[in-house]
Amino acid sequence: MAEIRVERVTKLFKNVRAVDDVSLTIADGEFMVLLGPSGCGKTTLLRSIAGLEQIDGGRIVIGDRNVSDLPPRKRNIAMVFQSYAVFPHMTVFENIAFGLRMRKAPKAEIHTQVQEAAELLHIENLLDRYPSQTSGGQRQRIAVARALAMQPQVLLMDEPLSNLDALLRLEARAELKRLLNEIGSTTIYVTHDQVEAMSMGDRVAVMRGGRLVQVGDPLTIYDGPVDRFVGGFIGNPPMNFLAATIRAGDAGAVAELSDAGEIRLDAADGLGGHRGPVLLGIRAENIELHSRTGGGMLRGRVLVVEPLGSHNLVTLQVGGEQLKAITRPDERLELDQEVGVGIDPARIRWLDAEREVALTDDAEAGPGAGLGPPTPEERDAAPPG
């Protein structure tokens, strides 16, 4: 196993900076997730670490070796692609053994490592079959087993579960996390699915426009997004953002929300003495709805109620803006009903109204934090991944 250091790496496609001055350290045995929307540069960064893309600046260190100019076969890495890339004319055994045979490993070693990898993934009974005789989930396991059989220092995974249906993806996610915890491999996992990132990663690196925006453990990023982009990208539903104005009150600061009312804050409000326009960020599960208004609550009107079994997702009109709240499944709300909206000040994430970045930082922010929304030209020019 090995530590990975990405040091000021840049990758250009003509005039587009697909990866823009990215620095990131992945500890030995850590499971790091690269997360972001399509075109943010996460797959390009992964391919650069693998040696499938030649970087235009910076360096990549695996263990104590600078591998920036080494071909993939000399980096001691294995990669699992979004498409399984299994060979249809080879048996499952031959697919798993492929890398070892290219390395010219002894036959006894090949047999042992293929058997061990197959047993780890519970496909030892499929070794004599061809891929056409296996399911999509089994082919995904074959691809992972082929990578594990190489016993690489580093395991790179590019959206390996994206081709599975929802139920199989749920099962495979839990199984893959168990497996990687068991083998202790240093793993970099690329996904645009924030549920995968939150549930699997030791840490998550959120990317946007080729740059790192925020790096931290999943719960820190969920509760303390460094800017509006991260808060809106992480979470289902995403974090609510409401325009507010902070002013001094009789017993501390007060957050005024246009026609919706105000929230009284205490001295430990997380604003650091800031007064004036702000953005109030709040998660749906941290909002309480009441049949009566007043008493320091905001005023809201029910627009939509979506029963989801374990909870209801409620869309509200609060002043001139909409927000999402989560309620118990047995809580009955009527359309157009006036409700009180209770928000715990301790659960609010305060952002600068103009730059849309957090007024306090609870997680490591990358150099891309607070860049503002991408322009249409940037979106059109962005390469896949």
- Residue pLDDT, tens place only, 5-19: 999 999 999 889 999
Question: What's the whole-number mean pLDDT along residues 323-349?
Answer: 92
Parallel/antiparallel/unpaired status of strands 31-35 and 186-191? parallel
Q: In the predicted model, is pLDDT for residue 60 greater than 80?
A: yes
What are the boundaries of each domain within the chain?
A: 4-223, 228-360
Please, which pLDDT band fits residue 136 given cuts at 50, 70 and 90? confident
Please, which pLDDT band fits residue 363 given cuts at 50, 70 and 90? low
- Listing from the earlier edge strand, what are the strands of the sheet with 31-35? 77-80, 154-158, 186-191, 31-35, 203-208, 211-216, 364-365
Distance between CA atoms of residues 7 and 228, nearest Å: 26
pLDDT of res. 382: 44
Distance between CA atoms of residues 241 and 72, nearest Å: 44
**The CATH fold of domain 228-360:** OB fold (Dihydrolipoamide Acetyltransferase, E2P) (2.40.50)
pLDDT of res. 383: 43
- The 3 state secondary structure assigned to 342-380 is EECHHHCEEEECCCCEECCCCCEECCCCCCCCCCHHHHH
In terms of pLDDT, which residue wins out, 300 or 174? 300
Question: What's the whole-number mean pLDDT along residues 113-123?
Answer: 87
- Listing from the earlier edge strand, what are the strands of the sheet with 240-249? 262-264, 252-256, 240-249, 276-282, 349-352
Q: 353: which 2 tokens?
A: 């109204």
Question: What's the whole-number mean pLDDT along residues 330-340?
Answer: 91
Mean pLDDT of the chain: 86
Q: In the predicted model, is pLDDT for residue 318 greater than 80?
A: yes
- Contact between 291 and 266 (Cβ < 8 Å): no
Question: What's the whole-number mean pLDDT along residues 267-283?
Answer: 80
Question: What's the whole-number mean pLDDT along residues 245-272?
Answer: 77
Share of the chain above pLDDT 90, in %: 56
Question: What's the whole-number mean pLDDT along residues 340-358?
Answer: 91
Question: What's the whole-number mean pLDDT along residues 88-94?
Answer: 94
**What values do phi and psi take at 169, rounded to 5?**
-65, -40
Question: What's the whole-number mean pLDDT along residues 188-211?
Answer: 93
CATH superfamily of 4-223: P-loop containing nucleotide triphosphate hydrolases (3.40.50.300)
CB count within 10 Å of CB 144 equals 26
Q: 208: which 2 tokens?
A: 């946007």
**4-223 and 228-360 in the same fold:** no
Q: In the predicted model, is pLDDT for residue 297 greater than 90?
A: no
- Residue pLDDT, tens place only, 146-188: 988 888 878 999 988 877 777 777 877 887 888 888 878 899 9
**Element containing residue 300 per DSSP (H, E):** strand 298-307
Residues 6+ apart with CB under 8 A from 242: 257, 260, 279, 280, 282, 318, 319, 321, 323
What is the DSSP-derived secondary structure letter of residue 232?
Answer: H
Amino acid type, 142: I
- Contact between 95 and 128 (Cβ < 8 Å): no
Q: In the predicted model, is pLDDT for residue 378 greater than 50?
A: no
Share of the chain above pLDDT 70, in %: 91
pLDDT of res. 380: 43
Question: What's the whole-number mean pLDDT along residues 219-247?
Answer: 93
